[in-house]
Amino acid sequence: MSDDRKIDLVKQWVAKAESDFISADRLLPYEDPTNDTICFHYQQGAEKYLKAYSVRYSIPFPKTHDLGRLIEICSQNDAAFNTLMDEAELLSNYGVAVRYPDEWYIPSTEETQEACEIAKKIKAFVLSRIDIDRDNA
């Protein structure tokens, strides 16, 4: 894949991640927020940022919602990703557990705030490492 095509694909992953963050951020301030949905969108955004990093550095990744697995994959290129492992695994639970009735779980307000903080930490970490600020980035 050409570097320009790779940059375009990374930008698409980032745009999709941002869509999840915007959705979660808009729901968070409500008096009675839908915490399960908010946590899901933060997890999804973090997942897409990790996949953007993988694309940027041509690191293959499986179809997965497991942020711990994605951290392992990214750490093949940058061992500093391992510092995110424990938090990523906490956030990873919101990729599936809050989505289906057989594993129904509604996160507390505190857990939702923690999900927000973890997701934004992963976002900042990834953005500091993917040089996509090129022509018309």
pLDDT at 136: 40
Q: Of the candidates 51, 44, 62, 37, which has an alpha carbon nearest to the alpha carbon of residue 6?
A: 51
Length of the chain: 137
pLDDT at 56: 95
The one-letter code for the residue type at 88 is: A
User: Considering the domain boundaries, does residue 136 fall inside one?
Assistant: no
Report phi then psi at 65, rounded to 5.
-105, 5
Q: How many domains does the chain have?
A: 1
User: Considering the domain boundaries, does residue 137 fall inside one?
Assistant: no
User: Considering the domain boundaries, does residue 132 fall inside one?
Assistant: no
Q: What is the pTM of this model?
A: 0.91
Across the chain, which has 137 residues, the per-10-residue mean pLDDT values are 87 97 96 92 97 96 93 97 95 77 81 96 96 56
Which range marks the domain in which residue 88 is found?
A: 3-127
User: Considering the domain boundaries, does residue 58 fall inside one?
Assistant: yes
CATH number at residue 79: 1.20.120.330
User: Considering the domain boundaries, does residue 135 fall inside one?
Assistant: no
User: Considering the domain boundaries, does residue 121 fall inside one?
Assistant: yes
Count of CB atoms situated within 10 Å of the CB of 54: 21
Tokens 């994605």 correspond to what residue? 70
User: Considering the domain boundaries, does residue 11 fall inside one?
Assistant: yes
CB 99 within 8 A of CB 40: yes
